Amino acid sequence: MPRRLPFYLLLDISESMIGEPVAKLNEAAKRMFAALKRNPLAMDTMHVCVITFANVARMPIPLTELNLANLPPLSVRPGTALGAALTMLKKSLDEDVVKNSPEAKGDYKPVVFVVTDGEPTDEWLGPLKALENARPRPDIVCVGCGDEVNFSVLTRISEKTVSLVDLTDDSLPKFFAWVSASVGAHSEAVVSGGGERRVVSLEKIPLPAGAKKVNLEKLPETAGGKRIFLHSKCGKTGKHYTMICERDEKTGIYRHRKSHPLPENFFEGAASGPARPVNIALARGAFPCPFCGGNSFCFCGSCRNLFCRDRHDPAPKVVCPHCREVFGRPAEGGDAVMDDSMG
């Protein structure tokens, strides 16, 4: 059996990737696979596996031949279960990668890229320690996207950590183009040079603009809590959406930036732990519902959830789309709830 180069891609699809970032991620991953499939040596040697993580880890592509790898469209979910993704990675390394034996050499040293834009919402140290005992031990590159990344976590996973700050332009597709070039060059190197101990180099192929290797002695600052995601329902259609608010550093007020519809399967498998209170009196700005255009939102005192309404609607009664409670003019402001498992 020909020796294979296992390539693992761990992708964060937490709620904070909603909107343009996840669209860019889908585009970038699609281009990356297309570029790798144009590389003859990569096609001959590379087997790929994709693991996504939000509230749970999933494996949309198990370790398989590159030419058979087709990534389905990714959609966001709550949570950032990095620990679960590392556990799934370790299991695949143990079960799917061919080890050296007295009779034959096994697969080449696996290559792993971890891409995330936040910090874990599950226990990750135990899975990391287990991964450190994997044989063969993979060569891992971590990529922190945006300014809310906990780099102390990523640099604990790998000293090869890259910071990619801006996700609003074409930086993510360019970075994944670098990944395909880097991994493609690595596949050529391991085949031509025996490759037993070769590792991915961050210097051999220059990183694209906007990306830089993280200095382990001076980690980038984390803008934790810069954004909050207020989950709501459309009062007319009952569909879920989220309101993204960004914190004003001077006043501490969170100002509404965008509202996004949530995928129908968004809460599938989400943990049902205690809610975390958020004072929505600190939120300012227009909060248009993406479904009906409702220009305000209400807090239900019964189920402690949010839903949209038209502040000019003269109807004397309002029905909460979450719990169907009927009440008079609802109070605005006060404590809303936000799932602790959000990304």
> Using one digit for the tens of pLDDT, what is the confidence trace for 18-64?
988 899 899 999 999 999 999 999 999 999 999 999 999 999 999 99
Predicted model pTM? 0.89
Give the Cα separation of 142 and 195 in Å (integer). 22
The band of 192, judged by pLDDT with boundaries at 50, 70 and 90, is confident
Q: Are residues 144 and 251 in the same domain?
A: no
> Using one digit for the tens of pLDDT, what is the confidence trace for 234-254?
999 999 999 999 988 888 889
Q: Is the pLDDT of residue 2 over 90?
A: no
**Per-residue pLDDT, 167:** 65
Q: Are residues 253 and 174 in the same domain?
A: no
Total residues belonging to the chain: 343
Where residue 34 sits, what CATH number does that domain have?
Answer: 3.40.50.410
- The residue with greater pLDDT, 274 or 184, is 184
**Per-residue pLDDT, 268:** 79
**Per-residue pLDDT, 89:** 98
Angle between helices 20-37 and 171-192 (to 10 degrees): 30
Percent of the chain residues past pLDDT 70, beyond the cut: 89
Tokens for 300, please give them: 């239900």
Q: Are residues 201 and 232 in the same domain?
A: no
Q: Are residues 145 and 254 in the same domain?
A: no
> Using one digit for the tens of pLDDT, what is the confidence trace for 251-310?
888 998 999 999 888 887 765 433 444 566 677 877 889 999 988 888 888 888 899 988
Tokens for 267, please give them: 């809460």
The residues with which 255 forms a beta bridge, in sequence order, are: 246, 284
**Per-residue pLDDT, 285:** 78
Contacts of 125 (CB under 8 A, 6+ apart): 83
The residues with which 277 forms a beta bridge, in sequence order, are: 337
Q: Are residues 167 and 51 in the same domain?
A: yes
> With contact defined as beta carbons under 8 Å apart, do 99 and 144 qualify?
no
DSSP state of 77: B
Give the Cα separation of 327 and 257 in Å (integer). 29
> Using one digit for the tens of pLDDT, what is the confidence trace for 52-64?
999 999 999 999 9
State which of 181, 213, 245 marks the end of a domain: 213
Q: Are residues 172 and 90 in the same domain?
A: yes
Q: Are residues 164 and 20 in the same domain?
A: yes
State which of 178, 213, 248 marks the end of a domain: 213
Give the Cα separation of 113 and 98 in Å (integer). 20
Give the Cα separation of 17 and 183 in Å (integer). 25
> Using one digit for the tens of pLDDT, what is the confidence trace for 104-114?
889 999 999 99
Mean pLDDT of the chain: 86
**Per-residue pLDDT, 51:** 98
Q: Are residues 250 and 196 in the same domain?
A: no
Q: Are residues 65 and 155 in the same domain?
A: yes
Q: Is 220 part of a structural domain of the chain?
A: no
Q: Is 104 part of a structural domain of the chain?
A: yes
Percent of the chain residues past pLDDT 90, beyond the cut: 55
Q: How many domains does the chain have?
A: 2
Q: Is 41 part of a structural domain of the chain?
A: yes
Tokens for 261, please give them: 């519809």
Q: Are residues 288 and 198 in the same domain?
A: no
Q: Is the pLDDT of residue 342 over 50?
A: no
Residue 34 neighbours by CB distance under 10 Å: 10
User: Which residues form the domain of 335?
Assistant: 227-339
Q: Choose the weakest-confidence range: 91-95, 99-103, 235-239, 271-275.
A: 271-275
Residue 121 neighbours by CB distance under 10 Å: 23
State which of 213, 242, 273 marks the end of a domain: 213
> Using one digit for the tens of pLDDT, what is the confidence trace for 143-172?
999 888 999 999 999 999 999 976 666 888
Q: Is 222 part of a structural domain of the chain?
A: no
Q: Is 221 part of a structural domain of the chain?
A: no
Q: Are residues 150 and 280 in the same domain?
A: no
> Using one digit for the tens of pLDDT, what is the confidence trace for 55-88?
999 999 999 999 999 999 999 999 999 999 999 9
Tokens for 288, please give them: 């248009």
Q: Is 319 part of a structural domain of the chain?
A: yes
Q: Is 158 part of a structural domain of the chain?
A: yes
Q: Are residues 105 and 202 in the same domain?
A: yes
